[in-house]
Copies of this chain bind each other. A is one copy, B any other.
Amino acid sequence: MTRLDDVRALDAADPLAGFRNRFALPEGVIYLDGNSLGALPANVPARMDRMIREEWGVDLIRSWNTHDWINAPRRLGAKIARLIGAKPHEVIAGESTSVNIFKALTACLQLAPERSVILSEAGNFPTDAYMMEGLAALSGGRIRQSLVASDAIEAALNTDVAALLLTHTHYKSGRLHDMADLTAKAQQLGIPVIWDLSHSAGALPVELNACHADFAVGCGYKYLNGGPGAPAFLFVAERHHDAIFPVLSGWLGHARPFDFRDDYEPAAGIDRFQCGTPAILGMAALECGLDIMLEADMATIRAKSQALGDLFIELVEDRLEGFDLRSPREAAVRGSQVSIAHENGYAIMQALIASGVIGDFRAPDILRFGFTPLYVGYEDVWTAVDTLATIMRTGEWREDRFNVRAAVT
């Protein structure tokens, strides 16, 4: 059985321990929700102050050139590319994950124009399915959405499928799909694949090109620590760039946007997947998060992430009763999070948060804990489980104040 001394020894030997003070976390809080909103990189306030006072305030419109705002989507895209096994010119930062899903789905329809089914996993993060539903509605019946259970995906692949959209790391369970295997099986049938990396990018090694991926999207505000509503990203494999006429064909995807011509001519390469004017304030914060992440080694991050998750599962099973593990026990197929279920999960999570351990709740009964190796240590995991054990022993989660639902849980 692991003891507190063992856990402290792990922290003392942690090669990533030095990253903890690169983040501004509040005293007395153990933050196990970086998979929902990443912590604040310590360099963001100064960077944002300079961006606002000097770049916006003093240099004003000239900053599009002098501070290279115009290249922020490309520059950040190239940095994200290093985290997901892509080439620098295959990733563009911007918009929301949802909008990028729409871009990727409509691109797939161009690659497989005679096909009618867009396929995803039931119980996936809902925005993926919802974006498919909107596209299907727009098509007036030509395109049909299909959602199948995780273990039925392979059987649902056929030559009528125009796009397979899968979340690499499941938002609720943390279960990983085998990207290389599913990509290959889909492509054998001519199906382009979109990988949603929202819970993968920055959390574990992703090798898009080694897996011969077609498209990927992902989120800037989780493991990339880009701040609330940070710009998302879109990966398009280089081999597809020229073949796709972007449906969201905004002015910044034009070959010469400042010629202000009436006809849309797509820019070369990944630039054509830009649409509107980029959110420059959000880009500045996201770049701070990316720069820290790029200093760390992804294999080291992954090893610690797995060790933190394993430790959490061991301690929960040693010290608690009445919780079901809802994540894979095997670390190799688990992302950087562990979910456990309890029929009183909502109230228990509220009580835990009130005690300074922040995870989140996912309906109907899931307590979800994210382990972000750059700022979470082994003793944090120990303390989190210890706090949860206290809450269960005292029954304080039964208090009324923990049973009132907030707007966002």
Q: Which residues of A contact B (CB under 8 A)?
A: 24-26, 29, 31, 33, 36-37, 39-40, 44-45, 48-49, 52-53, 55-58, 60-65, 69-71, 95-99, 102, 106, 109, 122-127, 129-131, 133-135, 137-138, 147, 172, 219, 221, 227-232, 245-251, 253-254, 257-264, 275-283, 285, 353, 358, 360, 362-363, 406-409
- A258 neighbours in B (Cβ, 8 Å): 363, 407-409
A408 to nearest B CB, angstroms? 4
- A245 neighbours in B (Cβ, 8 Å): 134, 137
Kindly identify which residue among B95, B254, B264 contacts A96, using a CB–CB cutoff of 8 Å. B95
Q: Which of chain B's residues has its CB closest to A35's CB?
A: B61
9 closest cross-chain pairs (CB), A and B: A96-B276, A134-B249, A98-B250, A228-B280, A98-B276, A127-B251, A40-B57, A64-B408, A229-B279
A107 to nearest B CB, angstroms? 11
Instruction: State the CA gap A182–B229 with chains docked (Å).
Output: 37
Instruction: State the CA gap A250–B232 with chains docked (Å).
Output: 14
- A69 neighbours in B (Cβ, 8 Å): 228-229
Q: Could you list 18 further interchain pairs (A-B, Cβ under 8 angstroms) beyond the known A95-B96, A260-B362?
A: A40-B53, A45-B49, A52-B285, A60-B358, A63-B228, A64-B407, A70-B407, A95-B99, A96-B250, A98-B248, A125-B251, A127-B276, A133-B264, A134-B249, A134-B264, A147-B262, A219-B277, A232-B276
Kindly identify which residue among B45, B52, B61, B264 contacts A44, using a CB–CB cutoff of 8 Å. B52
A233 to nearest B CB, angstroms? 12
Instruction: State the CA gap A37–B65 with chains docked (Å).
Output: 13
- A106 neighbours in B (Cβ, 8 Å): 138
- A281 neighbours in B (Cβ, 8 Å): 48, 227-230, 279, 281-282, 285
- A264 neighbours in B (Cβ, 8 Å): 126, 129-130, 133-134
Copies in the complex: 2
Instruction: State the CA gap A247–B31 with chains docked (Å).
Output: 36
Q: Check B40 against A251 for contact (C-beta < 8 Å).
A: no
A130 to nearest B CB, angstroms? 4
Kindly identify which residue among B39, B65, B248 contacts A134, using a CB–CB cutoff of 8 Å. B248
Q: Check A96 against B126 for contact (C-beta < 8 Å).
A: no
Kindly identify which residue among B33, B123, B227 contacts A262, using a CB–CB cutoff of 8 Å. B123
Kindly identify which residue among B24, B44, B133 contacts A249, using a CB–CB cutoff of 8 Å. B133
- A37 neighbours in B (Cβ, 8 Å): 56, 60-61
Supply 8 A–B pairs (Cβ within 8 Å), ascending by A: A31-B60, A40-B53, A126-B261, A130-B253, A130-B254, A229-B283, A232-B276, A282-B282
Kindly identify which residue among B36, B135, B257 contacts A247, using a CB–CB cutoff of 8 Å. B135
Q: Check B26 against A58 for contact (C-beta < 8 Å).
A: yes
Given known A65-B408, A102-B248, A133-B249, contact A126–B254 (CB-CB < 8 A): yes
Q: Check B45 against A60 for contact (C-beta < 8 Å).
A: no
- A70 neighbours in B (Cβ, 8 Å): 407-408
A332 to nearest B CB, angstroms? 26
Instruction: State the CA gap A358–B58 with chains docked (Å).
Output: 12
- A124 neighbours in B (Cβ, 8 Å): 262
A310 to nearest B CB, angstroms? 24
Instruction: State the CA gap A44–B63 with chains docked (Å).
Output: 18
Instruction: State the CA gap A249–B133 with chains docked (Å).
Output: 7
Given known A65-B406, A99-B99, A262-B126, contact A250–B26 (CB-CB < 8 A): no
A29 to nearest B CB, angstroms? 8
